[in-house]
């Protein structure tokens, strides 16, 4: 049998060209395996090889979703390959977006199997799960070996057009499809079985999980904005110099609340960012680029708004658990209500 | 966070660059940012131009807070 020809997608970090300083890198192609791709090839043995690796900076991809995708599709035109693998992206948000987006585009443009792997809380997993298979990875590169092993095995089966089972047993993100299967018992018998289990207080598994619409009803719009108090909140990690609350640069466990009564502008060195997931050069030079205090204070002076609330709230939204973010939002929202704040501007990087 | 704040009845506008993430998470009022490392800035402008741009963005953000909406809305 011929060797399976793979194309592999990596970000700047795993593509070994650099860290956040190279996150603006535009997509380029190399005719061999790189970084995690070496491990993929090792596992493939005689069965396959990586004929090309695409490397692109995370910030470039995130800022230019469409252009980045188009460029990469252009790079792949005319290339002879059988399968596309992206990542694994673990819980890295921008990387997950890139892996999902490019895998879906390759699948749609070339009609070749494409598969990626990321942590189930990665936003990319909820956006790109419908067309392609996204295998569930660990949270960080600690599980790299295991996740690559899964990717390789799964991709081989896709290439051979083998039967793929249900999301739970195969450990991929559900795609929202319905598939006909033959069961031993009829629906009526299964339903009664479930009902009896439910009445007895035993565990049972529904065959039709209800979708969770975790939506929030929009609050009423502000009427007289010139009399309103507006608060600033960010997940971009802007804090006073020295990071007094020791907010973590990734997977934050807390948020900070800082007085800006007498601050009209975030000045370099007085305020910094502690976010570990984007190039901090621009924000360190002028933190207003992430949390626009100077402009909001001017709008207060010009009478467009009543007041800037005298505290701002900050945390780091870098691989931070959804449950933590929810808790921060609830606590901040409660505090804002207690202080009669009318509206909130929240910035994310 | 933005959702949990709005759930308390306080309108909250989310300024972020990767809009699909904000949509998926469920923010109601979304304002696209400039770029990931500087959502409300632009290092290629002069200081004055940059502040003017920021003010303009915030005026759109304030408009987003003042509108009565029924569903997710992107303000541009």
Of residues A83, A166, A100, A176, the one with CA closest to residue A137? A100
Alpha-carbon torsion angle B55, B57, B59, B60, nearest 10: 180
Cα–Cα dist A288/A170, whole Å: 46
Q: What angle do CA A254, A256, A257 make, to 5 degrees?
A: 145
Give the domains, in start order, of chain A with CATH numbers. 4-170 (3.40.50.2300), 225-347 (no CATH)
The position carrying tokens 């204070």 is: A297
CA distances from A143 to A139, A147, A148 (A): 8, 6, 9
- DSSP for A150-199 reads HHHHHHHHHHTT-----HHHHTB-----------SS-HHHHHHHHHHHHH
Beta pairing class for B12-16 and A343-347: parallel
- A304 contacts in B (CB within 8 Å)? 59, 62
Q: Measure CB to CB from residue A218 to each of B28, B40, B59 and give the nearest one.
A: B28
Identify the pLDDT of residue B46.
96
Q: Measure CB to CB from residue B65 to each of A215, A221, A236 and give the nearest one.
A: A221
Q: Do B5 and A347 touch (CB under 8 A)?
A: no
Cα–Cα dist A8/A81, whole Å: 10
Does residue A134 sit in helix, strand or coil?
Answer: strand
Helices H / strands E in chain A, number of each: 11, 12
> Over its length of 349 residues, how does chain A's per-residue pLDDT go in tens digits?
689 999 999 999 999 999 999 999 999 999 999 999 999 999 999 999 999 999 999 999 999 999 999 999 999 999 999 999 999 999 999 999 999 999 999 999 999 999 999 999 998 998 999 999 999 999 999 999 999 999 999 999 999 999 999 898 999 999 988 888 888 999 999 999 999 999 999 998 888 777 666 789 999 999 999 999 999 999 999 999 999 999 999 999 999 999 999 999 999 999 999 999 999 999 999 999 999 999 999 999 999 999 999 999 999 999 888 889 999 999 999 999 999 999 999 999 9
- B6 contacts in A (CB within 8 Å)? 216, 218-219, 333
Beta pairing class for A229-234 and A307-314: parallel
Cα–Cα dist A27/A69, whole Å: 9
Contact A78, A47 (CB under 8 A): no
DSSP β-bridge partners for residue A230: A308, A343
State ipTM. 0.98
Cα–Cα dist A255/A248, whole Å: 9
Residue of B nearest to A123 (CA): B21
Identify the pLDDT of residue A1.
64
Cα–Cα dist B14/B61, whole Å: 8
Identify the pLDDT of residue A110.
97
Cα–Cα dist B27/A330, whole Å: 14
Identify the pLDDT of residue A319.
87
DSSP B51: H
Pick from A120, A225, A337, A344 the residue to mutate for testing the B interface (most B CBs within 10 Å).
A344
The position carrying tokens 């005719």 is: A31
Q: pTM of this prediction? A: 0.80
Identify the pLDDT of residue A113.
96
- A294 contacts in B (CB within 8 Å)? 51, 54
Query: In 10 A of CB A67, how many CB atoms?
Result: 13
């Amino acid at each position: 049998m011929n060797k399976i020809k793979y194309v592999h997608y990596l970000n700047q970090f795993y593509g070994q060209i650099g860290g956040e300083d190279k996150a603006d890198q535009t997509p380029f192609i190399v005719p061999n395996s790189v970084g995690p791709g070496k491990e993929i090839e090792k596992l493939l043995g005689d069965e396959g090889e990586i004929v090309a690796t695409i490397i692109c900076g995370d910030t470039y991809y995130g800022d230019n979703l469409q252009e980045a995708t188009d460029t990469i599709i252009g790079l792949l035109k005319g290339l002879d390959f059988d399968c596309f693998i992206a990542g694994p992206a673990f819980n890295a948000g921008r990387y997950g977006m890139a892996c999902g987006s490019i895998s879906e585009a390759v699948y749609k443009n070339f009609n070749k199997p494409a598969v990626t792997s990321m942590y189930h809380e990665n936003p990319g997993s909820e956006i790109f799960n419908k067309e392609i298979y996204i295998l569930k990875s660990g949270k960080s590169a600690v599980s790299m070996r295991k996740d690559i092993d899964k990717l390789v095995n799964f991709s081989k089966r896709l290439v051979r057009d083998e039967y793929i089972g249900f999301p739970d047993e195969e450990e991929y993100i559900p795609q929202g499809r319905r598939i006909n299967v033959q069961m031993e018992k009829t629906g009526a018998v299964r339903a009664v079985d479930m009902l009896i289990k439910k009445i007895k207080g035993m565990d049972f598994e529904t065959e039709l999980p209800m979708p969770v619409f975790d939506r929030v009803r929009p609050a009423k719009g502000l009427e007289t904005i010139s009399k309103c108090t507006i608060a600033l909140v960010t997940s971009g990690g802007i804090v006073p110099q020295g990071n007094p609350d020791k907010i973590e640069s990734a997977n934050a466990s807390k948020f900070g609340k800082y007085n800006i009564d007498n601050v009209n502008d975030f000045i370099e060195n007085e305020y910094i960012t502690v976010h570990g997931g984007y190039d901090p050069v621009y924000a360190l030079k002028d933190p207003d680029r992430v949390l626009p205090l100077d402009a909001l204070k001017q709008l207060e002076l010009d009478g467009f708004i009543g007041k800037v609330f005298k505290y701002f709230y900050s945390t780091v939204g870098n691989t931070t658990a959804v449950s933590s973010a929810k808790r921060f939002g609830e606590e901040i929202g409660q505090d804002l209500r207690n202080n009669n704040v009318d509206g909130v501007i929240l910035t994310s990087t | 966070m933005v959702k949990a704040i709005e759930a308390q009845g306080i309108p909250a506008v989310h300024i972020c660059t990767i809009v699909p993430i904000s949509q998926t998470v469920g923010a109601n009022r979304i304002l696209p940012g400039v770029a990931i490392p500087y959502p409300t800035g632009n290092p290629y402008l002069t200081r004055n131009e940059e502040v003017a741009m920021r003010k303009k963005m915030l005026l759109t953000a304030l408009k987003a807070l003042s509108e009565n909406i029924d569903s997710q809305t992107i303000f541009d």
